[in-house]
């Protein structure tokens, strides 16, 4: 009996090994986005954008003559959960590429798994400069891309915003992860280059991503009465921090608050709350976020609203574009294998091909053997050899009625 069981197990393992060596017959894409956790206000909407792109492509013939399959996983805004889900996607589901993560720390836990398995990882919103540094070192072997610009650019945008607001002294309060640490490391030299000063430069105030109490951190950030506090946070913890600042009598006083793209969530004013007079306590706070006003933005918004009856969120256009690049590159590669597709990502994204914004027109041109330059919803999505895109930044604020309003733009050089 034991011998028979052993033979049966061996046959199962042999069958699995044989299956894993077979090349894929159709394009399967994974999404690994934060459906739960601190970034969940963005994740579900990003997932909807991914599903909308796949439905659109399948409606115009699919890829390589077959429908594209989409497999969704929740990274829970946690590196360990993201790594586990990534392993499933590449080893069990055998996807060609994965769109994710939203968080830089989660993407950092996934990218080496992707590279080992020759799977493309393309993030719509992981902005840490660490990925640029590692790509420059050759760590990713061309399997890493992102459709949101790195925080080296946002650091410059934040510094220019501070200068425009007349803020000379800034204290920094940040989430202690790849996103927060990468952004502060680019902001400090950018502000100093413009003549400003980070008063806690040698010891910025960091808090763990899973914190829920911030009394001491808030008190320390506002001590010394800087012109402004730069808060690098996500909606769940960031709203608690600003509530705490209000409860300590610090919000809306002499020290202003600047926030980043991680806080640009449509419900952020409600999360932070109102005062006893019914006014939003965070009204007037300003921040930066990568501009999502690419050549295809109007068409994307029209499709999204028609499908979901609501407006897309901040990184939804970037998610749409990440999926678009994967499907177009696969059609161009004529095979759904990551090692082949990665070499066609830049070919469909960059000049000198025919500029095209509509994904169905784009894939039809690729099927016909034409060279294209896909122009996305989030921007022109031109990619350098490190997998990075460039971009401009919006200045946004919380209006008195709680709505988010874009009030200006900042050009960045990334230098």
Q: Is the pLDDT of residue 15 over 90?
A: no
Given pLDDT bands bounded at 50, 70 and 90, which one contains residue 415?
A: low
In this prediction, residues 231-250 reach a mean pLDDT of: 97
pTM of the model: 0.81
Q: What is the pLDDT of residues 349-398, one digit of tens each?
A: 999 999 999 999 999 999 999 999 999 999 999 999 999 997 789 999 99
Q: How far is CA 144 from CA 115, 119, 188, 331, in A?
A: 8, 9, 27, 19
Structure letter (DSSP) for residue 194 = T
What pLDDT does residue 234 have? 94
Q: Is the pLDDT of residue 7 over 50?
A: no
Query: How many whole angstroms separate alpha carbon 394 and alpha carbon 137?
Result: 31
Q: Is the pLDDT of residue 135 over 70?
A: yes
Are 289 and 315 spatial neighbours (Cβ–Cβ below 8 Å)? no
What pLDDT does residue 21 have? 59
Cis bond before residue 101 (omega within 30° of 0): yes
Burial letters for 322-358: b for 16+ Cβ neighbours within 10 Å, e otherwise?
A: bbbbbbbbbbbbeebbbebbbebbbbbbbeebeebbe
Domains, the chain, with CATH or none: 24-147+294-374 (3.40.50.2300), 152-292+392-410 (3.40.50.2300)
């Amino acid at each position: 009996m034991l011998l028979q069981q052993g033979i049966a197990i061996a046959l199962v393992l042999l069958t699995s090994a044989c299956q894993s060596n077979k090349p894929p017959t159709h394009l399967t894409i994974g999404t690994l986005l934060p459906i739960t956790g601190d970034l969940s206000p963005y994740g579900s909407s990003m997932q909807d954008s991914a599903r909308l792109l796949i439905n659109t492509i399948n409606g115009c013939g699919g890829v390589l003559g077959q429908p594209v399959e989409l497999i969704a996983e929740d990274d829970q805004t946690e590196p360990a959960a993201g790594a586990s889900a990534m392993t499933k996607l590449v080893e069990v589901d055998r996807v060609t590429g994965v769109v994710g993560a939203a968080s830089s720390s989660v993407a950092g836990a996934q990218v080496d798994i992707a590279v080992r398995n020759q799977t493309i990882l393309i993030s719509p919103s992981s902005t840490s400069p660490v990925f640029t540094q590692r790509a420059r070192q050759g760590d990713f072997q061309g399997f890493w891309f992102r459709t949101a610009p790195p925080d080296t650019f946002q650091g410059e945008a934040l510094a220019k915003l501070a200068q425009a607001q007349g803020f000379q002294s800034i204290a920094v309060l940040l989430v202690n992860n790849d996103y927060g640490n990468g952004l502060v490391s680019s902001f400090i030299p950018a502000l100093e280059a413009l003549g400003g000063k980070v008063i806690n430069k040698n010891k910025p105030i960091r808090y763990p991503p899973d914190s829920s109490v911030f009394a001491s951190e808030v008190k320390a950030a506002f001590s010394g009465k800087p012109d402004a506090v730069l808060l690098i946070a996500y909606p769940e913890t960031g709203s608690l921090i600003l509530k705490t600042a209000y409860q300590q009598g610090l919000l809306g006083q002499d020290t202003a608050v600047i926030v980043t793209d991680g806080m640009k969530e449509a419900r952020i004013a409600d999360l932070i709350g109102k005062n006893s007079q019914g006014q939003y306590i965070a009204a007037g706070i300003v921040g930066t976020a990568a501009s999502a006003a690419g050549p295809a933005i109007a068409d994307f918004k029209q499709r999204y609203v028609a499908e979901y009856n609501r407006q897309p969120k901040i990184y939804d256009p970037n998610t749409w574009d990440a999926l678009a690049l994967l499907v177009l590159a696969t059609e161009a590669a004529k095979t759904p294998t990551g090692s082949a597709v990665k070499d066609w990502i830049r070919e469909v994204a960059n000049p000198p091909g025919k500029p095209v914004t509509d994904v169905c027109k784009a894939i039809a041109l690729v099927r016909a053997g034409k060279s294209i330059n896909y122009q996305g919803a989030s921007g022109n999505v031109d990619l350098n050899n490190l997998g990075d895109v460039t971009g401009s930044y919006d200045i946004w604020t919380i209006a008195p009625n709680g709505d988010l309003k874009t009030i200006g733009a900042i050009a960045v050089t990334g230098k």
